Amino acid sequence: MCMRCDRCTNEAIAHLPHGPHLFCTSHFNYFFEHRVRTMTRMHAFFEKGDKIAVAVSGGKDSVVALNLMRKIMPRHEIVGISIDEGIDGYRNLAIEKAVENYKQLDINYQIVKLKEEIGSSMQEIVQKTHENQWKENSCTFCGVFRRKYLNKAAREMGANKLVTGHNLDDEAQSICMNFFMDRVDKLSRMGPKIETKNLKEWVARVKPLYNSPEEEVELFAQLNHYPHYNEKCCPFSHGADRNIYRMMLDQMEMKKPGTKISLIHSFLSMKPCLEQMPFDGKLQLCTRCGDLSSQPVCQACKYEERIRNAGKIEKMLTPEQINAMEKMSKTSGLPILNG
């Protein structure tokens, strides 16, 4: 026997365990969009005259954020920014989807290539990391550079708000990660709207999907036929610390539905106290690039310097070859040698 929607007699296509709710396609779409509208209004994301940049990787989250922003904020100017980290067989395909959305929505956009900005693609950076035995993992470099170049592009395009597609799962994982890794200063700077009132050069970030679970974002993208890339994960994602917290939170959510949203609510209740805590390193603008930093020179500029100084790569490997090298080095315990 098929299940029926809670709001009408149509067949239910979505069963949301926390609520619980059973929804048909149109009531699920209404429910999802309404939640994003409420989040946008409740946290006063935008003001009259704001120019909105949306960071679009081509995955479901950013594509949903872009399409909903276009719908919810019809009078605001919206532009798109895609960062091409340079990961063959992955990001190039995702960016194709991002461009399809830009074109469908008639949105101006910019694609920022990491290779052109810092002289190395992510693929080359991962290879240099292995060759030089740097302790950082791929996502550490990637995240730092993405943040910097999104901000730079948004500023150059004249935007004063930057929308990202972070969803409930991403945020719950980041809260746990920063908490368990003793990064309370970072925790204090998290939230659905991040702005620095006295540093106007930094474009305020807003996250309309902040309380939308990942699974529901995927369903919304599918039901609305938004072109998005969901073929495979990034080939360098296996070493990410985030995976540990994803697994932990997914298990907890399965046993106790509503865990992730409760975590977010607790965090938001604690946030005003966290903001009052005295942390080392006053937020300032990097003396080299002008991005937000807790030190005179930001982390991205320090990483860039190190990557440039590591020289050129003689023979470029594929992501699969790089991962195989990494596995070999872990098994043998020996460092990976050049060549």
Using CB distances below 5 to 8 A depending on partner kind, what does residue 27 bind out of Zn ion, ligand SF4, none?
Zn ion
DSSP, collapsed to helix, strand or coil, labels residue 250 as helix
Is residue 194 within 8 Å of 187, Cβ to Cβ?
A: no
110 forms beta bridges with 81
- Choose between 122 and 159: whose C-beta lies nearer to ligand SF4: 122
In angstroms, give the least distance from the CB of 5 to ligand SF4: 36
- Choose between 147 and 152: whose C-beta lies nearer to ligand SF4: 147
Residues that bind ligand SF4 (CB under 6 A): 85, 122, 138-139, 142-143, 234, 236-237, 240
Using CB distances below 5 to 8 A depending on partner kind, what does residue 298 bind out of ligand SF4, Zn ion, none?
Zn ion
- Choose between 61 and 85: whose C-beta lies nearer to ligand SF4: 85
Structure-token pair, residue 16 = 């949301």
Using CB distances below 5 to 8 A depending on partner kind, what does residue 288 bind out of ligand SF4, Zn ion, none?
Zn ion
Residues that bind Zn ion (CB under 5 A): 5, 7-8, 10, 24, 27, 286, 288-289, 291, 298, 301
- Choose between 17 and 296: whose C-beta lies nearer to Zn ion: 296
Cis peptide before 278 (omega within 30 of 0): no
In angstroms, give the least distance from the CB of 120 to ligand SF4: 13
* Distance of alpha carbon 131 from alpha carbon 338, whole angstroms: 6
E-state strands within 30-72 = 51-55
Using CB distances below 5 to 8 A depending on partner kind, what does residue 67 bind out of ligand SF4, Zn ion, none?
none
Residue that the structure tokens 């007699």 belong to: 9
Q: Radius of gyration of the chain from Cα atoms?
A: 21
The set of residues, in sequence order, having a beta carbon less than 8 Å from that of 113 and lying 6+ positions away, is: 84, 86, 121
Using CB distances below 5 to 8 A depending on partner kind, what does residue 209 bind out of Zn ion, ligand SF4, none?
none
- Choose between 30 and 180: whose C-beta lies nearer to Zn ion: 30
Phi, psi (deg, nearest 5) at residue 154: -60, -45
In angstroms, give the least distance from the CB of 148 to Zn ion: 7
In angstroms, give the least distance from the CB of 283 to ligand SF4: 23
Nearest to 105 by CA among 52, 141, 146: 52
- Choose between 142 and 301: whose C-beta lies nearer to ligand SF4: 142
E-state strands within 106-201 = 108-113, 161-163, 193-194
In angstroms, give the least distance from the CB of 269 to ligand SF4: 29
In angstroms, give the least distance from the CB of 44 to ligand SF4: 30
Structure-token pair, residue 94 = 């995702």
In angstroms, give the least distance from the CB of 241 to ligand SF4: 10
- Choose between 83 and 264: whose C-beta lies nearer to ligand SF4: 83
Is residue 140 within 8 Å of 181, Cβ to Cβ?
A: no
Phi, psi (deg, nearest 5) at residue 16: -95, 115
CA–CA–CA angle 58, 61, 67 (5° rounding): 80
Using CB distances below 5 to 8 A depending on partner kind, what does residue 301 bind out of Zn ion, ligand SF4, none?
Zn ion
Using CB distances below 5 to 8 A depending on partner kind, what does residue 142 bind out of ligand SF4, Zn ion, none?
ligand SF4
* Distance of alpha carbon 327 from alpha carbon 224, whole angstroms: 40
